[in-house]
């Protein structure tokens, strides 16, 4: 192969190269060039060319659920799989080029098929495309159920019916629903946060996400151990106290004092109210209302287990979904001897008292502010 055989085979005659052989060489050489050109072109496109992309705003509707912590590449993969964008690279590039691109968050989005990547990014940044349900601290389940129905385009009462029928399969911790008088087993277990909820999704899947978050957070807080140190029967009572604190308080300082009021009134040594909590919020819960002006005759004639004016101790279960602040206060109450409280301005200002005499003075302030 190195051309050093010219002294061998010493005959004078030389073999002629056939035309056919030359043609084969040319054909092979030409085919090689074509192959190199083909692969070279695609290598260049992959490395330096623009990624495959659709044009325009697309058509139809596609519900896309983006998980917490998902980055551009993961989002792009999901969008491509659903036919929203043509390639992952096109979406990642469009997200990087959009100044607000990194603000795309977890949630459910209503997009279209065959969209340009840039259009997909813009639509995901538009609040109108974001289909979520927000559970605010203190929200009762009835409010959350109604929001889910609205977001999923379901008839009124659908989610409430699912919750009532299928609550055992939604992921509640083993210590939940420990009282036969509980009105809603999921009350207190729809963790305050933002959740995906778009047409096409099932209400049970939305509820499962909320319950999962609650169970996870309650486990992280160690409610089982904390219940013992607070002299409560079980973790459910911790959540119940937190729901009362959330419903009655306004600030973190309020929450801690409110928690102490609950614990002091639950004591067997309480001769001030004889273990009656006397919280308006529990009566309002059982009536499905929010009313600060309740007549004594109305409240004293009602013997419902949730009426803490006529029934001693805690209500059977939570009266709402407490937030982190209320839960932390419940686990770390003040120890100043607070026994009473009054929203003296009838709305946002809560004042506390240690004796009945001081409590009566706060009631006078409330009456003066409300014109009674």
Using alpha carbons, select from 191, 196, 203 the residue that is nearest to residue 159: 203
Encoded tokens for 141? 């389940």
User: Is 19 a residue whose pLDDT tops 70?
Assistant: no
**What is the number of residues in the chain?**
372
| pTM of the full structure | 0.77
Using alpha carbons, select from 194, 185, 193 the residue that is nearest to residue 165: 185
Encoded tokens for 291? 């009313």
**Please, what is the average pLDDT of the chain?**
87
Long-range contacts of 38-47 (CB under 8 A, 24+ apart): none
Looking at the domain that runs over 59-129, which CATH code has it been given?
Answer: 3.30.1490.480
Lowest mean pLDDT among 31-35, 226-230, 317-321: 31-35
User: Is 302 a residue whose pLDDT tops 80?
Assistant: yes
In whole angstroms, give the CA distance from residue 140 to residue 243: 10
What distance lies between CA 318 and its chain's CA centroid? 20
pLDDT tens digits, 200-214 = 899 999 999 999 999
User: Is 21 a residue whose pLDDT tops 80?
Assistant: no
Using alpha carbons, select from 218, 255, 243 the residue that is nearest to residue 316: 243
In whole angstroms, give the CA distance from residue 53 to residue 51: 6
For residue 264, give the 3-state DSSP assignment: helix
Ordered DSSP codes for 70-136: --HHHHHHHHHHTTSSS-HHHHHHHHHHSTTGGG--SEEEEEEET--HHHHHHHHHSGGGB-EEE--
* Per-residue confidence (pLDDT) for residue 2, from 0 to 100: 36
User: Is 278 a residue whose pLDDT tops 60?
Assistant: yes
* Per-residue confidence (pLDDT) for residue 14, from 0 to 100: 43
* Per-residue confidence (pLDDT) for residue 50, from 0 to 100: 79
In whole angstroms, give the CA distance from residue 87 to residue 155: 38
In whole angstroms, give the CA distance from residue 158 to residue 150: 10
User: Which residues are registered as beta bridge partners of 263?
Assistant: none
- H or E element at residue 197: none
Lowest mean pLDDT among 28-42, 53-67, 256-270: 28-42
Question: b/e for 151-189, b at 16 or more Cβ within 10 A?
Answer: bbebeeeebbebbeeebeebbbbebbbebeebbbbbbbb
pLDDT tens digits, 221-266 = 999 999 999 999 999 999 999 999 999 998 888 999 999 999 999 9
In whole angstroms, give the CA distance from residue 184 to residue 85: 43
User: Is 4 a residue whose pLDDT tops 50?
Assistant: no
The residue with greater pLDDT, 7 or 194, is 194
Lowest mean pLDDT among 2-16, 43-57, 113-127, 332-346: 2-16
* Per-residue confidence (pLDDT) for residue 48, from 0 to 100: 54
* Per-residue confidence (pLDDT) for residue 30, from 0 to 100: 46
Mean pLDDT of 282-289: 96
Rounded to 10 degrees, the C-alpha dihedral 238/243/249/252 comes to 50
User: Is 17 a residue whose pLDDT tops 80?
Assistant: no
What does the domain layout of the chain look like in residue ranges?
59-129, 132-220, 224-370
């Amino acid at each position: 192969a190195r051309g050093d055989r010219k002294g061998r085979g010493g005959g004078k005659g030389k073999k002629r190269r056939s035309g056919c052989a030359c043609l084969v060489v040319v054909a092979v050489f030409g085919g090689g060039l074509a192959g190199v050109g083909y692969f070279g072109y695609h290598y260049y496109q992959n490395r330096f060319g623009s990624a495959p992309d659709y044009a325009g705003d697309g058509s139809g509707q596609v519900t896309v659920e983006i998980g917490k912590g998902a980055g551009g590449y993961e989002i792009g993969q999901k969008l491509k799989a659903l036919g929203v964008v043509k390639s992952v690279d096109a979406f990642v590039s469009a997200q990087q080029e959009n100044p607000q691109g990194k603000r795309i968050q977890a949630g459910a989005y209503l997009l279209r098929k065959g969209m340009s990547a840039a259009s997909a990014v813009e639509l995901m940044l538009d609040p109108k495309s974001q289909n979520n349900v927000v559970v605010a601290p203190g929200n009762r389940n009835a409010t959350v159920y109604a929001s889910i129905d609205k977001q999923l385009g379901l008839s009124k009462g659908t989610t409430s019916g699912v919750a009532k029928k299928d609550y055992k399969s939604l992921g509640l911790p083993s210590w939940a629903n420990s009282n036969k008088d509980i009105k809603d087993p999921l009350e207190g277990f729809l963790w305050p946060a933002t959740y995906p909820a778009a047409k096409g999704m099932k209400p049970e899947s939305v509820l499962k996400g909320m319950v999962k978050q609650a169970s996870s957070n309650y486990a992280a807080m160690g409610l089982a151990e904390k219940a013992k140190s607070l002299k409560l029967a079980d973790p459910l009572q911790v959540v119940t106290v937190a729901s009362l604190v959330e419903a009655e308080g306004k600030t973190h300082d309020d929450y801690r004092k409110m928690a102490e009021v609950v614990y002091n009134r639950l004591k067997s040594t309480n001769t001030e109210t004889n273990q009656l909590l006397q919280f308006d919020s529990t009566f309002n819960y059982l009536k499905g209302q929010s009313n600060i002006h309740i007549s004594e005759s109305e409240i004293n004639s009602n013997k419902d287990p949730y009426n803490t004016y006529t029934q001693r101790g805690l209500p059977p279960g939570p009266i709402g979904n407490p937030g982190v602040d209320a839960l932390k206060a419940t686990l770390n109450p003040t120890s100043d001897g607070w026994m009473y409280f009054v929203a003296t301005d009838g709305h946002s200002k809560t004042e506390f008292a240690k004796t009945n005499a001081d409590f009566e003075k706060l009631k006078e302030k409330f009456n003066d502010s409300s014109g009674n």
